[in-house]
Amino acid sequence: MSLPNAHKGRACREGRAKRPRVLIAKPGLDGHDVGAKLVCRALVEAGMDVIYTGLRQSPQAIAKAAQQEDVDVVGLSVLSGAHLGICKRVRAELSDAGINPPLIVGGNIPRQDREALGELGVDAVFNTGTPFAEIVDFIERKVGA
């Protein structure tokens, strides 16, 4: 079953030797993960390897999983409004783990917070309703796919 707005990305069509590895996490106490699961599905359909950590992950657990799984990108799904603090802590934990993958965040993110997120080390923000193709294209560009 294909998802709306998804596409078969260059990852599938060009037969690249290494598929992008993306970790998707739900940090904090937010218990709504339908959107995160749909993004995971779209990335898989685009030919990426996706690791989904599940609900209520700590920044430390996210960084540890990213390091252990040797991911190319870390994506956070935040609907709680705590995106600034969470992104700051996740970026710090990734740095403490000695890794610096691109960090993307999706969810209910007010436009006025985008600049602050960039200053915290977030590479891209995808609001709720962003077409999956935009997320796939960004990841492929970012990891040189």
Question: Tens-digit pLDDT profile for the chain (145 aa)?
Answer: 444 444 444 444 455 558 999 999 999 888 899 999 999 999 999 999 999 999 999 999 999 999 999 999 999 999 999 999 999 999 999 999 999 999 999 999 999 999 999 999 999 999 999 999 999 999 999 998 6
Q: Where are the domains of the chain?
A: 18-139
> What is residue 122's three-state secondary structure?
coil
Radius of gyration, alpha carbons of the chain: 14
Instruction: Report CA torsion sign: 106, 109, 115, 120.
Output: negative
- Residue 110 gets the label, from left (phi > 0), alpha (psi -120 to 50) or beta, of beta
Taking the alpha carbons of 83, 132, 142, 20 in that order, is the dihedral positive or negative? positive
What is the structure's pLDDT at 145?
A: 66
Q: How far apart are CA 21 and CA 96, in angstroms?
A: 20
User: Which fold is adopted by the domain 18-139?
Assistant: Rossmann fold (3.40.50)
Q: pLDDT at position 114, please?
A: 96
